[in-house]
Structure 1
Amino acid sequence: MKRKFLEDLGLEKEAIDKIMAENGNDVNAAKADYEALKQQLEAANTQIQERDGQLEQLKNATGDVEAMKQQIATLQAENKTAKEKYEADLKDLKLSAAIKMAVGNSAHDADLVAGLFDKAKLILSEDGQVTGLEDQLKAIKKEKAFLFREEKAPQQIKGGKPAEGRGTPPADKKPSEMTYSEMCKYLEANPGATIE
């Protein structure tokens, strides 16, 4: 989404900034997902090539049965180790992506802040949810607040302000001219009204 498109719609600068920030978060999330999938695909392709090579090696091997059994056992052990490494790398990649998503644009340097997380204390569930992430993020924000951008309170739009349920005294009488019963009746009909 381009800023000019929103400006042409006649939106105010503050609204455009908020829309662009939210769009940036969505784009960053999509990039993180893309990078994770890309790395998974590269790792899978590498494993396929390694196994194809191993199968070709076995096909071309000549010799006795015991030597081939030993070679098969060795290859199975190597494949198991490679699979465990792949799963650990994939978990680390998912945790890193989740951390960067949680940090988002709130940090001056997302990579630096991501390095402060203790991944050993994070639990990655089957559905991709990370337990313990919010607690660590809050602790890091508290301990090292200088690493994060200052959160700006939404600016208040100046100009006319609606009555917000508050009434005004009847036009024909000033509050000082009202009787006690008129004042009670008025306040009952207009809860939260202020009388000056």
Structure 2
Amino acid sequence: MKRDFLEGLGLEKEAIDKIMAEHGKTVEAQKQKANELSSSLDDLKKQLDARDADLKDLKKKAEGNEELQTKFADLEKQYKVDKEAYETKLKDAQLASAVKLALAGKVHDADLVSTLLDKATIEVGEDGSVKKGLDEQIKTLKESKPFLFVPEQPAKPSGFRVGGTKPGTGTTDETPGSLFAKQANEAAKVSENNPWK
């Protein structure tokens, strides 16, 4: 979310500061969650590396023993399955984190929008950011479901001003109600002076 957008809506500086502070907390919480996830995945990778080293050591010790060789083969198969599951989880977690960070501030609900995306076509770079595949899907979603996105342009003010003036514009402090009453009074004066009553 950009300060210019909020200023374009005519919000006061104090309100803008509060909104920006709250938005900053949200973005910071998402980054912290991504860091925690990355940290736990790094721990899992270290555990898998340690298990890999133990398997190599066990393989050397099992040479010449038929029963240990069979057990080792079973462990190796299980290790391969676990490693593939870990790599899939790691890839999915990195992708989900990158997508949520890329959507932060652009959509009203990043979790909802991320469920509408085809994650198979999105690629994540080494730095953890989205490389490609997201922009095209965002463009399509903006066209089909624009209500999911935070407006990029400031809303144009309506013709009515409720209290206050803008310097140099010549507008008064009249409210919509007072403008209506003024028009009704003028209409009544015209009908009083009407000789054709």
Task: Sort the TM-score into its range (normalised by shorter chain).
Answer: 0.5 to 0.7
Secondary structure, counterpart of 1:149 in structure 2? coil
Residues of 2 paired with 1:97 and 1:160: CA distance? 48
* C-alpha spacing 1:152/1:14, structure 2 compared with 1 (3 Å): farther
Residues of 1 paired with 2:79 and 2:49: CA distance? 11
Residues of 1 paired with 2:53 and 2:126: CA distance? 30
How many aligned residue pairs are there?
Answer: 150
Residues of 2 paired with 1:12 and 1:123: CA distance? 39
Deviation at 1:151, TM superposition (A): 3.9
* Alignment partner of 1:79 is 2:79: yes
Deviation at 1:20, TM superposition (A): 1.7
Where do 1:1-196 residues align within 5 Å?
12-17=13-18, 19-20=20-21, 23-24=24-25, 26-41=27-42, 43-44=44-45, 47=48, 65-130=65-130, 131-151=132-152, 153=154, 158-159=166-167
Structure 1, unpaired ranges of 5+: 1-10, 162-196
CA contact (8 A) 1:123 1:132 kept: yes
**CA distances 1:54-101 after superposition (whole Å, capped 9, x unpaired):** 89x99xx9xx81111111111112112211211111111011011111
CA contact (8 A) 1:108 1:147 kept: yes
Secondary structure, counterpart of 1:80 in structure 2? helix
Residues of 2 paired with 1:77 and 1:154: CA distance? 60
Secondary structure, counterpart of 1:106 in structure 2? coil
- 2:112 partner amino acid: L
Residues of 2 paired with 1:116 and 1:137: CA distance? 10
Relative contact order: is structure 1 or structure 2 higher (C-alpha 8 Å, sep ≥ 6)?
Answer: 2
CA contact (8 A) 1:121 1:132 kept: yes
Residues of 2 paired with 1:128 and 1:38: CA distance? 13
Residues of 2 paired with 1:23 and 1:155: CA distance? 26
Please report the TM-score for the alignment, with normalisation by the length of structure 2: 0.57
Structure 2, unpaired ranges of 5+: 1-11, 158-165, 170-197
CA contact (8 A) 1:104 1:110 kept: yes
- 2:151 partner amino acid: E
Please report the TM-score for the alignment, with normalisation by the length of structure 1: 0.57
CA contact (8 A) 1:103 1:137 kept: no
Secondary structure, counterpart of 2:78 in structure 1? helix
